[in-house]
Structure 1
Amino acid sequence: MQLHTHEWGTGDRIALLIHGMMSDHRTWRRVGPALADRGYRVIAVDLRGHGASGRGTYGARLFADDLVDTLPTGADLALGHSLGGLALSLAAERLAPARAVYCDPAWALGTDGAVDPAAFVAFQRLSRQVIAKFNPRWEAADVDVEVATLAAWDPDSALSLSGPHAADHTPAAPVVPSLVQVADPSPVVDAALKEELVRRGFEVRTVRGAGHTMYRDDFDAFMRSLEGWL
């Protein structure tokens, strides 16, 4: 499937941004321009079932295949958050970016019972006030974006990763130089997995005090954690 994309900047280097579940390219409203200011042409997608992209059958490998169908190969940087990190890892060998960043990647979502993707369906009914209450560090613009992206999201995309469809897609090794950014605390990357990822050859950095959508909880800390990877 060809995905809807949004771009910032006209630099010679290319950066790819892949959002998480329930979101779309608008979640990168600060990250995209910040990378453009660093000389990148930034391309952000809406995954299938999200934003302005098409609907249809869902599954982890379909999310990845769409990235390959839509995005250029050989980008200088590819960054995926949560579900976007899962999709990126399954597409990384084919996309062949110079560097990959996995922001709190949901590689084993639904397999340990800690986070059930089916529970995300209820999030679509949350009011703006509730979203703001649960995310007190977000700017008002981020709350507005969350309301808009939830309205544009197909919850069936979450059901495709739950129950019998859940699988552990944690990479055996990075196929390109790779950084894993971990929230503090993280709902998807625990201490044992952090140690295992280091053993497998990933660089792992914890963004202290920031939640799962760390680039909205603490944008400055998120950007500092990318030092040396941009």
Structure 2
Amino acid sequence: MLHIITPLYRFEYLDAIYASIPPYEDITWHLSVSNRRNLPVNKFILDDKRVKIHYLDCEDNDLVKKRNAVFKSINSGYFYLLDDDTIFLDEVYNLYSKYSIIHFKGLILGRQYRPFYDARPLRPFDNPLFNNIDTGMAIAHCSVLKVVSWEWCDLKYSRDCYFWAKCYEYFGKKLTVNSQKYISIYNKLNPQKPLFVLKKEDGFIRLDIKISNQLLGKLVVFLLLIRNFPRRVFNIK
């Protein structure tokens, strides 16, 4: 079973997300929702036996409680974290199928598409400060949920990096696969968000630079390419 987990508070994208999920019986889509809001779900979603809605007594933006409530309900199969501002990609299901057949009980990493920038999971670390794994860039066996949860954490790194670092620490190098497949699209349904997130780790300092202007973003990428281009190409001594 592939468990897709979506902590929902951007209701306007619900139909588009649902339309992207393939109609396979070995998929369960978990929606965690605050009971302080009315969920305007269409009849197709309500009648779909693959959809499980978790109503929680929490603030609408409490993604920590929303994710952990779903984690506690999963005791078999694999899980994938799908934010409520993007869509599900078929490659996620393809990878899940490939590794579930061989009963792989580990962590599967993939690439994320962003405008002007493809996020590739580098060699993962158990130190979250050095990870670049975004929320939807991994599929994991549910066994890790016995010891790992989504947590509030120090501001020097994001919650998703912290969570996947803990998952990597649990599975280890031998049970971690870097597929290099695209399994995520960053903010697909919410283009108003920044188009760039440039992350630089230098020792114990993590800098996040968010750029929402496309022209400025292109300029930053160009300057980074020039800066990191082999100096011998320009015959610079």
If the length of structure 1 is used for normalisation, what is the TM-score?
Answer: 0.33
Q: Identify, as 1 or 2, the structure richer in helix.
A: 1
If the length of structure 2 is used for normalisation, what is the TM-score?
Answer: 0.32
Greater Rg, structure 1 or structure 2?
Answer: 2
Q: Identify, as 1 or 2, the structure richer in strand.
A: 2
